[in-house]
Amino acid sequence: MDRYIINGGKILRGKVKVSGAKNSALKIIAASILSEKPVVLRNVPEIEDVKTMVEVLKMLNAKVNFDTSKNILKIDCSSINNYEAPYELVRKMRASVLVAGPLLSRFGVVKVAIPGGCNIGARQIDLHLKGFELLGAKNKVEHGYIISQSSKSENKKTTNSNAGGFLTGTTINLDFPSRGATENLMMASVLAKGTTVINNAAREAEIVDLANFLNSMGAEVYGAGTDCITINGVKTLGSADYQIMPDSIEAGTFIAAASLCGDGVIISNAIWNNLEIFCLKLRNIGIDIENYSDNEIIVKDSIFLSSSKKQFKPVYISTLPYPGFPTDLQPIIAVILSIVPGVSIITENVFENRFMYTEELNRMGANIKVDGHHAVITGVEKLSGAPVKAFDLRAGAAMVLAGLAAEGTTEVYDIFHIKRGYEKFEQKLSALGADIKVS
């Protein structure tokens, strides 16, 4: 199985361009199901999760062409006549369940495999299903699948229909601002009759990107980016030619790499407003980082090049849904804190198993003690290369960053996790001066 071999201690210099957002692309690909007109998506990252979502659409009998040389994805969902997302695909990528809302909205029925938990913790879809019920669907579970069907579709032919109107607008009050539930229910409501209001909605930039895409096809979605989203149902949606937003988590990963061992690294296609709380925490630590120009962030120096670590200070971090500190960047910043003098504390409030990577980081010489959903990090002088494992996507990226900053050679195993969400990761790092290869 492929692994990364990293010889640490190299200085990173130059400019790196951030790819399209994984968490935006996957949902927008699913949303293309809502229209029988052609859709063109640009800036789509060539990553394993996108390839899996493409396979899901093909299983539904959509026509899909992915030009990876140009990052352009062309989708035609006019021929969809299958409403099932099978287990073999859902188990590979949990986001596959987000075809449920579009299928239910357009055709009145969907059958989707029950997704399992993932390494960072169980992420239940109860909120999705409760929302579907409020919109007028009935849910049942059998043989490992969830079947949601509108009562209106039972007496109406759904095959190749684009009429929508199977669901009825309502008010949905989410118990938790779940991004996945917000997205699925937004998509389910687009072709519903009447108006749907989602309260306590997730507020991430990817929610705004999805709403903008839906509106570009003729939907009427208002309030995305706030905790109250209103959707006026429409009868049909048209075609679209849409550009996916940049990936904030990838941007944060390269910002962290530059903070560890960079010398004036510019991260382009990075939106400061989407990363502000992360960047301000880095400033609190003592990293010289600024909004360099339109959609560019520069890290001027790094811990590795500093003549003294005394300028760097420990911090306290608590992960929360946006606009709080993003849980996906929690393992990333932990690598930085592992070599910052003093004691830092991270509190994880989103996923219960997010700290599994700390054992691997400790094998590299870090001093991290985990107590429940708190991690106490006592900064050490340096990290040492060692064989480590990528437990999940972001933990894997964190291990790569640790290898860049460590003395000696680090081997990162199970890098298929990393390839799920980072496009040309090793090539981009190599272009900055890192010594990293796949073996």
- The residues annotated as belonging to the active site are 118
The dihedral through the CA atoms of 68, 110, 204, 312 has a sign that is: negative
Please state whether 269 falls in left (phi above 0), alpha (psi between -120 and 50) or beta. Answer: left
CA nearest 335: which of 379, 301, 370, 297?
Answer: 379
Residue 8 carries which side chain, given as an amino acid letter? G
Query: Distance (Å, rounded) from C-alpha 12 to C-alpha 21?
Result: 23
CA nearest to 429, candidates 48, 23, 69, 11: 11
**Residue 414 burial (C-beta neighbours within 10 Å; 0-12, 13-18, 19+):** middle
Could you give the CA distance from residue 364 to residue 386 in angstroms, rounded to a whole number? Answer: 6
Token code pair at residue 330: 């929690």
Q: What is the DSSP string of 332-362?
A: HHHHHHTTSSSEEEEE--S-TTGGGHHHHHH
Q: Tell me 114's DSSP state.
A: P
Q: Residue 230: enclosing H or E segment and its boundaries? A: strand 228-232
The dihedral built from the CA positions of residue 354, 360, 366 and 371, taken in this order, carries a sign that is: positive
Q: The tokens 């997730």 sit on which residue? A: 202
- Quote the tokens at residue 380: 């050490």
* CB-CB contact of 148 with 120 (8 Å): no
CA angle 432, 22, 254 (to 5 degrees): 25
CA dihedral sign, ordered 360, 361, 362, 363: positive
Bridge pairing between strands 368-371 and 374-378: antiparallel
Cβ(179)–Cβ(154) below 8 Å: no
Contact between 190 and 213 (Cβ < 8 Å)? no
**Number of residues in the chain:** 439
Are the C-beta atoms of 169 and 195 separated by less than 8 Å? Answer: yes
Walk across the sheet containing 387-389 and list its strands: 387-389, 409-413, 3-7, 435-438
Helix (H) or strand (E) holding 251: helix 248-261
**Dihedral-angle region of residue 399 (phi above 0 means left; psi in -120 to 50 means alpha; beta otherwise):** alpha
The pair of structure tokens assigned to 161 is: 């229909």
